[in-house]
Structure 1
Amino acid sequence: LCSLPPALRETWATPAEVFNTRAFEAYVFAGLVPGLMAYAGFAWLGARFGSVRSSLVLYVAPIVSALLSWIILGEPPKPIHLVGGLLILGGVWASLRK
C-alpha cells in the first residue's frame, strides 16, 4: 500500500518506462526469483531440516545480497561487509554446534 501511490504516479507520468520489455523482464524476475524460488527453497529446507535450523538461512541473506551485488552490479564488498559476513557466519556456526 505504501508504494502504490508512487507507482501510480510513475505510471501516469512516464508510461513508456513502466510498460516496456525491459520492465516486463524485471517484473517477471522479481516475481519468480525472490517470490517463488526463495519461498519454495525455504519450504524445502523446513521440511528437510526443521524450522529452527532452516530459520538460520535468513541470517545468511545479507551475505548473499552482498555477493549478488558484486556479481550483478559490479559493486565489490568493502571491509565492513567482510567483517559483518564473518560475524554472521560465526554466529550461525555457533548456533549449529551441539
Structure 2
Amino acid sequence: MITHNKTGAPQWIHNLPVVVWAATLLFGTTLLLILLNAPKDGFIVTHAFTYVAGVIVVNVVVLLFTMAAVLHHKDNNRELVSGIILLLTNIPIAFFYVFLLMHFS
C-alpha cells in the first residue's frame, strides 16, 4: 500500500533520495576496496569507470525525478527539497571517487 504524507506525494518519493545517496556511498567505497586488492589488468579495473559513470547517471535521473516531484507537489515540499540537496551532495562525492579511481588504477 502506498501511503501519502501531508505533501500529497507517495512516501517512496521522499525515501528515494536517501536510499540512492546511501547506495552510492556504499557502492563507491566497495568498488574502491575491491580496486585496492585487484590486479592492475583485471576486469574490475578496466570497467571501473563505466560502473562509476552508471552510478552518476542514476544519481542524475533520481535528482531530476525528485525535482519533478517537487514541481508537481507544491504544498509543503520541504522534505523533497531536502532530498534534492542530499542528492546534490552526491555529485562531488562521485567525482571524488573518480579521482580515487584514477589514482589507484
Q: TM-score range by the shorter chain?
A: 0.3 to 0.5
TM-score between the two structures when normalised by the length of structure 1: 0.37
Question: Highest Rg: 1 or 2?
Answer: 1
Higher relative contact order (CA 8 A, sep 6+): 2
TM-score between the two structures when normalised by the length of structure 2: 0.35
Higher helix share: 1
